[in-house]
Structure 1
Amino acid sequence: MKKSKLFAALGTLLMVGTLAACGSSGGNKDAAKGTTDTKEDKQMEVLGDNVQFDPNKLVNDGKPIEMEYWTWNEGDPAITMAKEYEKIYPNVTIKVVNHPWEDYWTKLPLALKGKNGPAIFNVHNSQHDILIPYMAPYDIKTADLQADFTSVDAHISEDKVYYIDSLINTGNIYYNKAMWSEAGLTDADIPKTWDQFREVAKKLTKKDGDKLTQAGFNWNAETYSAIYQGLNYQKGELLFDESGKVANYNNDVTKENLQFLIDLYEKDGVGSKDFGAESSQSFGNGQAAMVYKWGWYQNELRTNYPDIDFGVFATPTPTEETPFAYDRYNGESTPGINKNQTKEEQALAQDFLKYCLANDEYSKTGALALASFPTKKSLAEDKDLLADPVLSAIAPRVERLIWPGPFPATVETSATQTMEDVLFNGMNIDEGLKEGQAKMEKDMKDTDFTSLESSYAFFDELK
């Protein structure tokens, strides 16, 4: 997933609306010390099912307290939640500190080492190893989290949880509706298998003699590094070996799937490595009828290519039977709590976190802005979410998506290099896979990464 596009999409969050309607508290203002809250009974309902938030209390005994929340984007949904939380508790000030993505991962770890760091902060799972030494576990029962959210199990460490996924995303097929209709295709032609997909792609392809003028399917540029993982998972091939520490790239399934993608171009002629070098742009410019992309692409189309009338359908599978997994997913993380802050600020951070997790609007607003499916079970059939084309495509597959953990970048970059060597440089596939495997093993040798594939709910199907 492209972080820059994802974080730009977050900027739309504040336009969605107020996240929660909150009552007001009584309080006395002391100019020197801030506001003291004196109203314990806020006359407000308790939020949540299993993870609950009861607003009818005093926070910090009603005495003024301030904490910082660090993030990398002004559209972070926790910012709006913080404003609503302050309305409930007038003695609380949540100071938002915003750093650009590039600076965030330098400044945050340094701040967390000392006593002056933020009490609570935005988390991205790609930075897990950097952040986890400074994080306090959630003061929420793991069983309650599991009861309310999917995808919790992969984040349990010695029965403790330090963050979870509030949203998840995965790959889908985006198609040009005008091209689809022009080719005489209807909703009944949406392919369920890859063989059906090949035939549809052929119908969507246009040529002027031998010259390709419209690609039925374009997988150029960054697509391969994402799609190969899903293709392998569909056939029950894991990304890592039994130890969870070594990449599993050089195998017959990877070879078969790379050959399939190449054959779409070289045998079926539905696209070309030389036509529409960047698949995202090619689709947006009306040169390609179908592409494989994650949720961020919906926002890119609406922002940069508003004239494209597009639809979305679930990525096909080898057969119409349920596969081992439909694809890999990645999650948008809930906030982390700084274990080095004062006990008062940590308590406030825990309470604010519980407010976010108990409130459906925290997850729902983020889901709509990022085209990422909420892991909160109470939102699984939300009509507003299912009206979104990407979310409606993801919904039936949520339970059969697998997360291998925040793996090192080489798993994607080395795979991309292999694809380019084979597709553009004429390298034999066997040699390319061998070199890709060697590069991944070398790059991962000194990392602490261990795959979380074994925590997948259907992992035992491989035995």
Structure 2
Amino acid sequence: MNLKRCVAACVATLSIISLAACGGGSGESSGVTDTKSDKGLEVLGENVKYDPNHLVNGGKPISVDYWTWGDKSTDPVISLIKDYEKIYPNVKINVVTVTWDDYWTKLPLALKGKNGPALFNVHNSQDALLRPYLANYDIPIKDLEADYTNVNTHEVDGKVAYIDSVINTGNIYYNKTMWKQAGPTDSDIPKTWDQLVAVAKKLTKFDGSKMVQAGFNINGDSTYDALWQGLNYQKGELMFNKAGTKGNYDNAVTKENLQFLKDLYDKDKVGATNFGDDATQSFGNGQTAMVYRWGWMEGTMKEKYPDVDYGVFATPTFTEDTPFAYDRYNGESTAGINKNQSEEQQKVAQDFVKYMLANDDFQRYAVQALNSFPAKKSMQNDEQILSNPVMAAIKPRIDRLIWPGPAPSTMETSPKQAFQNVFQNGTSISKAVSDAQTQIDKDMKSGSFTSVESKYAFYDEAAARQ
């Protein structure tokens, strides 16, 4: 579900040894000296404010490093760096790209020393790994909360070391050509799962007994391993227990929802386990009419299937009443600051972070690069942003999306195995769910994860059930 991870695999790895040899992040720079404190620029921001009319590092040349696994097309910080350097010609921020797989080994090693990057890309799934090296933002928490959504989920002792820049969740992608051929109109966009099933039946085609077009495909990765969480949340079932330390997968709601999905194939005949093993590929090849996917799907469609005419609508719910939550969301994180770097470099990093958080352009860069909804409240009604169908689908639901925290990967991998056992191996739902819970318990036994579900504004609506 992470676009950045997919792209990162294609990015060349840079060696830490070679970086050290080049003197990355040494502080002193042979660049120009800036003597113009009054830049003639307006103050940015509403609550988190940034006045660019000052000298950074006293105007003296300075070089700092920013580490990332992405590139300009996937990491909005890179675009913002170019803007920042234009304002402060004495500051050089070196972008150092490391592949995703190497990043989580090389970055912690670099951060332990004195010459690690002053700034670095953060992924919330690696919070425990990065937390010992993160400096807190030098910005009042009340100002951050006034400007940004869900800041409280990242608070530790009243401080934050990063927040969400943009957020994403699941939606339904549908083939407009198939939709038109089958007869439904825009007024038939499903609001409930029953309505989706009815439309999916119209979109399913057979040649005799052989399926030639699936109405709704849930095969392969990135469907059930993500969708089960949203389905459970819609019915008020939390992902973790009250203490937030144990996965809550083996329950009646999980089984009920898994049966609902199985009935899509066995009873409703809108898809099949032996048709379109990879739902994304099947959709792109024009064999499947609808799939559940997150925002990364747009990048995949542009890159691999540019000729497909598709639309996006919000994931249905079980009734038209407002659910406990429409789905889980995940945020893309703002840049982190290395607390082990020099005071001089940290001051530059803090200045850049404040510029980033006050600057609406950063939100635009992030929305475009990550196909995700702005976490900055003032940008959530922006007409240009809402012209994107994914953003338009997320907008009405922003307050009813829940984040459980950087959940252990077993909360996706173990349910995915249960799905495969039920759909492909003939295992009973009860046994598959029970086996998955056993694996989840085993995987989480030695961990220190605690869910942040209790910080969700409507938590009490579900807590009573647990």
2:338 and 2:99 mapped to 1: Cα distance? 20
Q: Match for 2:217: what amino acid?
A: N
In structure 1, the partner of 2:85 is: 86
2:307 and 2:59 mapped to 1: Cα distance? 53
In structure 2, the partner of 1:453 is: 453
Q: Secondary structure at the match of 1:34?
A: coil
Q: Secondary structure at the match of 2:173?
A: strand
Q: Alpha-carbon deviations, 1:381-430, whole Å to 9, x = none?
A: 11111111111111111111100011111111110111111111111111
Is this contact kept in 1: 2:405–2:452, CA < 8 A?
yes
2:225 and 2:451 mapped to 1: Cα distance? 18
1:81 and 1:56 mapped to 2: Cα distance? 17
In structure 2, the partner of 1:100 is: 99
In structure 1, the partner of 2:188 is: 189
TM-score by length of 2: 0.93
2:34 and 2:80 mapped to 1: Cα distance? 19
Instruction: Report how far residue 67 of structure 1 moved.
Output: 1.1
1:431 and 1:372 mapped to 2: Cα distance? 37
In structure 2, the partner of 1:39 is: 36
Instruction: Report how far residue 5 of structure 1 moved.
Output: 6.0
1:306 and 1:32 mapped to 2: Cα distance? 44
1:73 and 1:248 mapped to 2: Cα distance? 34
In structure 1, the partner of 2:305 is: 305
In structure 2, the partner of 1:121 is: 120
Q: Match for 2:94: what amino acid?
A: K
In structure 2, the partner of 1:320 is: 320
In structure 1, the partner of 2:150 is: 151
Is this contact kept in 1: 2:3–2:370, CA < 8 A?
no
Q: Secondary structure at the match of 2:39?
A: coil
2:76 and 2:185 mapped to 1: Cα distance? 38
In structure 2, the partner of 1:203 is: 202
1:177 and 1:9 mapped to 2: Cα distance? 31
Q: CA RMSD in A?
A: 1.6
Instruction: Give runs of aligned pairs for residues 226-265 of structure 1, distance below 5 A.
Output: 226-265=226-265
Is this contact kept in 2: 1:66–1:95, CA < 8 A?
yes
In structure 1, the partner of 2:285 is: 285
Q: Alpha-carbon deviations, 1:272-326, whole Å to 9, x = none?
A: 0110010000111111110000000011112111111001000000110110000
The counterpart of 1:63, out of the listed 54, 60, 63, is: 60
Is this contact kept in 2: 1:415–1:436, CA < 8 A?
yes
Q: Match for 2:314: what amino acid?
A: A
2:350 and 2:392 mapped to 1: Cα distance? 33
Change (3 A) 1:102 1:8: closer
2:390 and 2:29 mapped to 1: Cα distance? 51
Q: Alpha-carbon deviations, 1:416-463, whole Å to 9, x = none?
A: 111111111111111111100000000011111111111111112224
Instruction: Report how far residue 10 of structure 1 moved.
Output: 12
TM-score by length of 1: 0.93
Is this contact kept in 1: 2:5–2:100, CA < 8 A?
no
In structure 2, the partner of 1:73 is: 70
Q: Secondary structure at the match of 1:150?
A: coil
Are 2:185 and 1:177 aligned?
no
1:3 and 1:174 mapped to 2: Cα distance? 16
Is this contact kept in 2: 1:385–1:391, CA < 8 A?
yes
Change (3 A) 1:308 1:34: closer
Q: Secondary structure at the match of 1:196?
A: helix
Structure 1 stretches lacking a partner, 5+ long? 12-30
Change (3 A) 1:227 1:335: same
1:387 and 1:10 mapped to 2: Cα distance? 30
Is this contact kept in 1: 2:226–2:412, CA < 8 A?
yes
In structure 2, the partner of 1:349 is: 349
Q: Match for 1:89: what amino acid?
A: Y
Is this contact kept in 2: 1:6–1:296, CA < 8 A?
no
2:368 and 2:216 mapped to 1: Cα distance? 27
Q: Secondary structure at the match of 2:331?
A: strand
Instruction: Report how far residue 8 of structure 1 moved.
Output: 6.2
Is this contact kept in 2: 1:9–1:299, CA < 8 A?
no
Deviates more, 1:433-442 or 1:381-390: 381-390
Q: Alpha-carbon deviations, 1:201-223, whole Å to 9, x = none?
A: 11111111211111110000111
2:31 and 2:314 mapped to 1: Cα distance? 53
| Percent identical residues | 61
1:406 and 1:453 mapped to 2: Cα distance? 11
Q: Secondary structure at the match of 1:161?
A: coil
Deviates more, 1:410-419 or 1:361-370: 361-370
Change (3 A) 1:239 1:69: same
Q: Alpha-carbon deviations, 1:333-366, whole Å to 9, x = none?
A: 0000000011111011000011111111111121
In structure 1, the partner of 2:273 is: 273
Is this contact kept in 1: 2:240–2:248, CA < 8 A?
yes
Q: Match for 2:459: what amino acid?
A: F
Q: Alpha-carbon deviations, 1:179-229, whole Å to 9, x = none?
A: 111111000000101111111111111111211111110000111101000
Instruction: Report how far residue 166 of structure 1 moved.
Output: 0.3
The counterpart of 1:49, out of the listed 36, 46, 51, is: 46
Instruction: Give runs of aligned pairs for residues 270-419 of structure 1, distance below 5 A.
Output: 270-419=270-419
Q: Secondary structure at the match of 2:217?
A: coil
Is this contact kept in 2: 1:10–1:369, CA < 8 A?
no
1:360 and 1:113 mapped to 2: Cα distance? 33
Structure 2 stretches lacking a partner, 5+ long? 12-27
Q: Secondary structure at the match of 2:313?
A: strand
Q: Secondary structure at the match of 1:212?
A: strand
Deviates more, 1:86-95 or 1:143-152: 86-95
1:82 and 1:411 mapped to 2: Cα distance? 36
Q: Alpha-carbon deviations, 1:52-87, whole Å to 9, x = none?
A: 110111111222222111111221221221122122
Instruction: Report how far residue 151 of structure 1 moved.
Output: 1.6
